[in-house]
Amino acid sequence: MSTAVKDRKPLGLKIALWAFVSIWFVCAAFPFLWTLWGSFKVELDFFSIADWTNAIFGRNTADTYGRPFTGAGYDGAFVQEGFFGNAINTMIVCVCVVTISLTIGTLGGYALSRSGQGYVFWLLITALMFRALPQVALVSGYLPVFFDWNVWGYLPTAIIVLVAINQPFTLWMLHSFFESIPKDLDEAAKVDGCTQFQAFRHVIIPVMWPGVITTGLFSFLLAYNDFIVTSLILNEGNRTMVPQIAAFLGTTYTEGNVMFAVAAVVSATVPLFILVMFFQRQIVSGLTAGAVKG
């Protein structure tokens, strides 16, 4: 049936569609592919001023290492600079942020969606307002206190701040997922002998699963990609990947190694691809929230 409908489209439209999709795909994928390719070259090639095709064919790389490809960037980042430690820090931060914000978010979102009180709306609006503030405004407010209390520089501090910044969003999102689940389900469970919490645990959460996964993924991405909070709060020894990549790039005062940064960027991007591929079905069904009909 659906193929029959597709086949009826005029040829011109089909060509236009394909052209559009191809162009979009190239535009979207090109930076990644370019960086991936370039990460196996030396800086002189990748950032060649003389001839941009050097970045593709790797002439200088071949001069230095005898082959047009080299793992020097990765070697430098991981072996020399210990980027692996940064990756582990990122994992710790992400897992903690996702766990904490999902725990608070599901419980809170459920409670808000089932309370029926007038203040729920204002609570959510307030939460949204905090989310709308520039993060740097919040973090700079925290900083003096953290110095005072001597907690600056550690992972748990960054985790708490990220959870705080992230929570309004998770709460908001999970709340709307819970709203879409008919209250009849809770009530049926309660008549069936559940307490409110058992109804939540045995009936609502299993139905909510796609929503929880989607929200968890967004929290994960926020924690994973965060630069402002982690770069301002973590000290050099506790850096996560993103601030470390920034450090590789160097500043006006410190010398960096751009190829380390490029290799690190590629290493940091790959897990995201894998993650999204892995969860794509849940994400789609979570984003179309109507999927959780009784």
Binding site for another protein (CB under 8 A): 182, 184-185, 187-195, 198, 202-203, 206-207, 209, 292-294
Measured from the CB atom, is 141 or 182 closer to another protein?
182
Q: What are the φ and ψ backbone dihedral angles of 153, each rounded to 5 degrees?
A: 100, -15
Measured from the CB atom, is 168 or 210 closer to another protein?
210
Contacts of 83 (CB under 8 A, 6+ apart): 77, 241, 244, 260, 264, 267
Q: Give me 16's structure tokens.
A: 């236009």
Indicate the Cα dihedral angle 227, 229, 235, 236, nearest 10°.
Answer: 0
Tell me the closest approach of the beta carbon of residue 198 to another protein, in angstroms.
Answer: 7
Tell me the closest approach of the beta carbon of residue 292 to another protein, in angstroms.
Answer: 7
Contacts 24+ apart (CB under 8 A), 19-26: none
Tell me the closest approach of the beta carbon of residue 212 to another protein, in angstroms.
Answer: 13
Measured from the CB atom, is 64 or 198 closer to another protein?
198
Helix (H/G/I), strand (E/B), else coil: 177: helix
Alpha-carbon distance 41 to 38, whole Å?
5
Could you tell me how far CA 79 lies from the centroid of its own chain?
Answer: 26
Q: What are the φ and ψ backbone dihedral angles of 89, each rounded to 5 degrees?
A: -60, -45
Measured from the CB atom, is 51 or 187 closer to another protein?
187
Task: Give residue 66's region: left, alpha or beta (phi > 0; psi -120 to 50).
Answer: left
Measured from the CB atom, is 28 or 191 closer to another protein?
191
Query: Do residues 286 and 213 lie in contact, with contact meaning Cβ atoms separated by under 8 Å?
Result: yes
Measured from the CB atom, is 139 or 207 closer to another protein?
207
